[in-house]
Amino acid sequence: MPVPGEAAANNSFSGRAEAPVIQAQHIETVYLASAPTPQRPAWTLPARPAGLVGRDRERTGLLALLDPARRAAAPGVVCLTGPGGVGKTALALDTAYDVRARGWYPGPALYVDARAHRSDRIDGAEALLGALLRQLGLPGDQLDRHRAGLEGQLRGTLAAEPQGCLIVVDDLADADLLGSVIPADGRHRLLVTLRGSPGRDDVSEVRLPGLGPDAARLLLADLSGRAADDPLVAEVAGLCGELPHALRLAASRLAEPDDAVQNFLAILRQPEERPAELGLVPLYDASLALLDAADARMLHLLTLHPGTEVDTAAAAALAGCTVPEAGRRLRQLCASHLLEQSGTPDRVRCHDLLWQYARSRCTAVESPAEVTAAEHRLVQHYAAHAPDADDGWLEREWRTLVLVVAMAARLGRCDVVSALAAGLIDHLTGQARTVDALSVLGHAVTAAHQRGEHGREAALLTEMSRQYHGVQRAREAAVCAEAGHLVHIRMGVLSPDMDDALAEHAAAQGDAHAAVHHRDRAARGWRRRGHLARYAVSLYGLGCGWDDLGEPGRAARAYARSLAAAEAARDVRAAARACHALAAGAAARDAHDEAADHLTRGLDLARRTDDVRTTVALLNRLARARLDARRTDDAVELLDTALRLTDAYRLRQLRTSVLDLEADLLKSLATAADRAAEACERDAETAVEEHVVRCEREWFGRPRGAGRTAQVGTSEREGDATTEGAAPDTSDDPSEPAWWEVGAASSDRPDHRAWVREAERSPAVVAKRDAAARLRRQTDGLLARAAKAEEERGRRRQEEGAEHVPEPPVLRPNHHLRSVFARTTALPGCALLWSMAWVVHDWFQDARRPVTALLYLGLTVAAVWAGRRVWQRSRGTHAGDVLALCVHRCHPAAGAALLAYAAALTGARLTVLGAAVLLAAQTAWDLWPVVRHRMRPPAGVGAVRPSS
């Protein structure tokens, strides 16, 4: 306040106050309290995480990058990247504690949680820099308000630090923020966890994958307190997708009571509920929030793909964009760690839990019309590639194609099903993937029926019957064979396909005579048509029929003709099967050299094709031939190859037969090794006995008094030894008792035990004893392997019926029954009733002329017999077949002639009109399929390659 009597002071200030301002008229002494020096925390790291397993390799890599000795070689920033929930934070903190324990960075250890995927996240470079500067001791009121100023303050503060600092920034949102916090001083290190890729050359990136199965099981067991070998632990670890975040939550749930654990496990077994139950939805929501709309849509639509891997072209078809654009989208998703590259170029895959989450998001976000359109584009994309597909493409994509066929069937795209099934069935049957082949065959049968391709439908049903026989499903095979026969009858066209199908059905029923009859008929039909490949297959079946009838000579001739036809048609697969059959026949005749030649030739042919089943059968047969020829090394090598193939292609039945042969081979090898061990032991015993005998001879050959007590160890005078079994010389002093008469305590008695011990220590005997012991161990190992093979064989036989096999696509009642009934029964039956009525009418009207009616009745009965003979394809002579076919085709014309003759005689035109209409309908019904077949062969016939 102003002093009385003095003028008032009036001061004004402008600008910004940089320091405390004191206003007064008279200032003598000012005491300012010094501001407290800010305390810089030396340790802000959270507690060290517990239960970190399976990260030794990644921890070693991080420590190598953080090593101060590599200051010039390593950048100052190490970025730990990976998808959400993979355990980046736990590994970063654990590594930071290891770094501090090594004394590498003794300065402050700072930790900033950027919380990028939470609502209270640190947003922007200014907030991140401010958080770091505050931890370094700079007060908040001294922080610059601009990014450039904050960066300068951070560089200056770190430069003023006397010792190196370790800075951990966890869960950073944007890789662009790294440029603001990179230390300029090489004494410091920055460790960052990031979900995306840093995309900078001055940053060392360490990608963190998921835990392996063993590490996931150990982590869950450690956190839950259960045993690592507990089946429940293994199942839950697999359902958690080996993600540490999910495993930690599951461990807390496993500590609950048993009822709660069972409820938790029941929910985990539902794939659509698994991400939410494991607490992964917030993590995935935050990751998707960082994507733009196009990338998020791509991720949603990728879940519509039925396979485990997606290539760029399929992704483009799903999204409805170009292939380059799809490639850019996929690369961006891989950089965000939402997808990962597979082993094949231009192919990506998605984690199971993330896939389930994205699939639920696709259902919730994308419209049903968009989802359906994307699925149609996908199946059309694969159908467009089917005509030009080679074996390599089919081998890479067969798993996906099987699922795409099912998707196309669900969408009602019969054209796509037919296009994909044409080559896929042949590939799957050749690779002996029977279950998948049956699934595709079922959809293909339904599609062929809906498209009216009855010829293809019959061929597919016949192939299904073969495949069901291959997995020992006789009931399903019979159902498919019956349905295929009905389709053939409905088609109304006699073809060798029908005879082949009937032959296979008869063989399955054990009627070898009928099988031979139909195979012979089919072979003649294919030969007339000039179809050599199918002719070879029919001849092969004919040979099998003759084998069943016990006619090896006829069977060998049929197989030889099949081989010649297959070679003429360049059908390598059929030629390999024929060689296998010829080898089996030669082996039965004890012509082992001929059998070996056929097997070697057939194996060479089979390896040039994709027929794995025939290859394994030939390897098995050739291994047995080598075993019979005592070439065990070759047999073992062949069996190992066959077992690898059966494992790779899941050939249960063939593996059982290979295991049978392996057990026999191992037992025979064990027997041979045991005999060799016994021979070595006998040789060793013989060597010991010979050494003792030699020592006795030398001992007895010494003169009396020459020191007989000195035992002879080696044969020094073999020429002086007495003959074996000769008595010792005692003629010098007859009164002196012989050595055997002396008591046991006499020192003049030979020590046989010393001679035996000396013989046992000789190199020859030791070598034989060692060889015998080695052979005994080899015998025990072979017997153990044989027992293991027999045990696996028994287990395989028990599991043969456990594999799920799809049911045949045959409706009940069958949709072909009406047509078949009309063709085989209804129309001939009506004609028969009409003719009987006509006979009765003429008998009462004009008993003198019933001849025409009786002729008509006989013709109708003959037509019924011919129809059954033609369509049921019963056995008989070739002349009977020709007669039945002529009567079946020509009886309507003969009936019409008889009706015209009767009308001319009686003048009853109206009476005959009904029978004429009936005959015309029956004629059209019988002849129209033949005319249609001649004018336009049914689409798809012959597209299915027959297999044996």
Contacts of 344 (CB under 8 A, 6+ apart): 309, 311, 396
Identify the pLDDT of residue 929. 58
pLDDT tens per residue across span 692-731: 888 877 776 655 444 444 444 444 333 333 333 444 444 4
User: 711 or 626, which is more confident?
Assistant: 626
Please check the confidence at residue 571 and state whether its pLDDT lies above 80. Answer: yes
pLDDT tens per residue across span 879-936: 666 676 667 666 666 666 666 666 555 555 555 566 566 666 666 666 555 555 554 5
Identify the pLDDT of residue 718. 38
What average pLDDT does this structure show over 597-614? 80
Tallying the residues shown for the chain, one arrives at 948
Identify the pLDDT of residue 745. 43
Which pLDDT band holds residue 733 (cuts at 50, 70, 90)? very low
Contacts of 222 (CB under 8 A, 6+ apart): 51, 53
pLDDT tens per residue across span 844-878: 555 545 566 666 667 667 776 776 666 555 555 66
Please check the confidence at residue 405 and state whether its pLDDT lies above 90. Answer: yes
User: 221 or 472, which is more confident?
Assistant: 221
Which pLDDT band holds residue 486 (cuts at 50, 70, 90)? confident
Strands of 350-448 (E only): list them. none
180 and 147 Cβ atoms separated by less than 8 Å: yes
User: 171 or 442, which is more confident?
Assistant: 442
Which pLDDT band holds residue 219 (cuts at 50, 70, 90)? confident
926, 928, 931, 932 alpha-carbon torsion, rounded to 10°? -130
Kindly state the percentage of the chain with pLDDT values over 90.
12
pLDDT tens per residue across span 426-461: 888 877 788 888 999 999 999 988 888 888 888 888
In this structure, the number of other CB atoms found within 10 A of the CB of residue 133 comes to: 21
User: For residues 654 and 665, what is the distance between their CA atoms, to the nearest angstrom?
Assistant: 17
Identify the pLDDT of residue 914. 61
Which pLDDT band holds residue 242 (cuts at 50, 70, 90)? confident
Identify the pLDDT of residue 369. 92
Identify the pLDDT of residue 410. 92
Nearest to 278 by CA among 341, 351, 174: 351
pLDDT tens per residue across span 45-55: 888 887 788 88
User: For residues 515 and 582, what is the distance between their CA atoms, to the nearest angstrom?
Assistant: 20
Nearest to 454 by CA among 924, 812, 938, 818: 938
**What are the CA-CA distances from residue 660 to residues 164, 389, 614 (Å)?**
69, 38, 18
Contacts of 523 (CB under 8 A, 6+ apart): 496, 535, 538, 539, 542
3 and 25 Cβ atoms separated by less than 8 Å: yes
What average pLDDT does this structure show over 252-265? 88
Q: Which pTM was predicted?
A: 0.69
Identify the pLDDT of residue 728. 43
Contacts of 416 (CB under 8 A, 6+ apart): 379, 380, 382, 383, 404, 405, 408
What average pLDDT does this structure show over 667-677? 78
**What are the CA-CA distances from residue 814 to residues 15, 440, 480, 562, 767 (Å)?**
98, 20, 11, 36, 77
pLDDT tens per residue across span 67-79: 887 765 556 788 8
Mean pLDDT highest for which of 6-10, 84-88, 482-486, 638-642? 84-88
What average pLDDT does this structure show over 593-616? 81
User: 66 or 927, which is more confident?
Assistant: 66
Strand, helix or coil for residue 311: strand
Kindly state the percentage of the chain with pLDDT values over 70.
71
pLDDT tens per residue across span 804-844: 778 887 655 455 555 555 555 655 666 656 556 665 655 55
Mean model confidence pLDDT for the chain: 76
Identify the pLDDT of residue 947. 53
Identify the pLDDT of residue 594. 87
Which pLDDT band holds residue 304 (cuts at 50, 70, 90)? very high
What average pLDDT does this structure show over 181-199? 81
Identify the pLDDT of residue 126. 81
Main-chain dihedrals φ then ψ at residue 349, nearest 5 degrees: -140, 165
Identify the pLDDT of residue 374. 93
User: For residues 774 and 681, what is the distance between their CA atoms, to the nearest angstrom?
Assistant: 11
Strand, helix or coil for residue 494: coil
pLDDT tens per residue across span 9-63: 555 555 444 455 556 555 565 555 544 445 555 567 888 887 788 888 888 888 8
Lowest mean pLDDT among 143-147, 252-256, 537-541, 686-690: 143-147
Which pLDDT band holds residue 732 (cuts at 50, 70, 90)? very low
Q: Exposure of 146 by Cβ count < 10 A (0-12 exposed, 13-18 middle, 19+ buried)?
A: exposed
What average pLDDT does this structure show over 340-366? 87
User: 325 or 701, which is more confident?
Assistant: 325
User: For residues 659 and 794, what is the distance between their CA atoms, to the nearest angstrom?
Assistant: 10
Identify the pLDDT of residue 840. 60
Please check the confidence at residue 937 and state whether its pLDDT lies above 60. Answer: no
Please check the confidence at residue 132 and state whether its pLDDT lies above 70. Answer: yes
Identify the pLDDT of residue 726. 40
Identify the pLDDT of residue 440. 92
Which pLDDT band holds residue 151 (cuts at 50, 70, 90)? confident
411, 415, 418, 419 alpha-carbon torsion, rounded to 10°? -110
